[in-house]
Structure 1
């Protein structure tokens, strides 16, 4: 984590709009992490009409799900509006991540958000983004129907 924080500090020197937050537990272990570069923060103001949030990827030795916030620009290209890591996929973890995202984006909530059918995620969205229209991802619905 020290190397990650050093990297983020270096990015913040290069990009004054770079943003990151790390939440530690009582034993100084990472509970949650969120980061985004300045270009993505600036783009979000124009393309926040619909974002996808998915925490299904385990990409590290600690098995912390990687949770990117993805949007689409006016050229139908995907944009990443930041990325989070969550140790526990519970309401508290998602609440922190969504509040941090909202803080980073100057209080501008997404208008629509597409997620899987996770109940903890839904509770966090209802609390932090109360005016956002929340829909479930078609792929997840079909996958669960097949099961």
Structure 2
């Protein structure tokens, strides 16, 4: 954690729009982590119409889910608008992560969001991102239908 914070502080000296936040638990362990560089913040200002958010993959050696915020630019290419790690996919962690994302983006919420079918995530989206259109990921729907 110390190395990560030092690295983020070093990046911040080179990129004044680099943004990061960390939330520790009662035992000073990382509960949540979020970061975004300046280029991604500028891209989000232009291409915030659709956001894909999926935490169902890439659990790291610390057993934290990777939580990338992905969008699409005007060339149809995927862009990462920020990334986080959350220890547990609990409502309070999604509240923290989505509010941190909104703060980094100057309070501008995406117009649409595509997610998996996580119930904790769904309730938080309705609470944090007001007036947003929420859709479930087709891949998750098809997987559930086959099961």
User: What residue number does 1:88 align with?
Assistant: 88
The 5 A counterparts of 1:62-101 are: 62-101=62-101
Give secondary structure in 1 for the equivalent of 2:120. helix
Work out the CA distance in 2 between the residues paired with 1:130 and 1:119. 17
User: What residue number does 2:38 align with?
Assistant: 38
User: What residue number does 1:52 align with?
Assistant: 52
Post-superposition shift, 1:145? 1.1
Structure 1 unaligned runs (5+)? none
Partner deviation per Cα, 1:112-132 (whole Å, 9 max, x = no partner): 000000000011101110211
User: What residue number does 1:61 align with?
Assistant: 61
> 1:117 aligned to 2:97?
no
Q: How many residues align?
A: 147
Give secondary structure in 1 for the equivalent of 2:46. coil
Give secondary structure in 2 for the equivalent of 1:22. strand
**4+ residue runs over 3 A deviation:** none
Structure 2 unaligned runs (5+)? none
Work out the CA distance in 2 between the residues paired with 1:46 and 1:58. 28
Task: Name the TM-score, length of structure 2 as normaliser.
Answer: 0.98
Give secondary structure in 1 for the equivalent of 2:43. helix
> 1:135 aligned to 2:101?
no
Give secondary structure in 1 for the equivalent of 2:6. helix
Post-superposition shift, 1:20? 0.3
Work out the CA distance in 2 between the residues paired with 1:48 and 1:58. 24
Task: Name the TM-score, length of structure 1 as normaliser.
Answer: 0.98
Post-superposition shift, 1:58? 2.9
Post-superposition shift, 1:59? 3.7
The alignment yields a C-alpha RMSD, in angstroms, of: 0.7
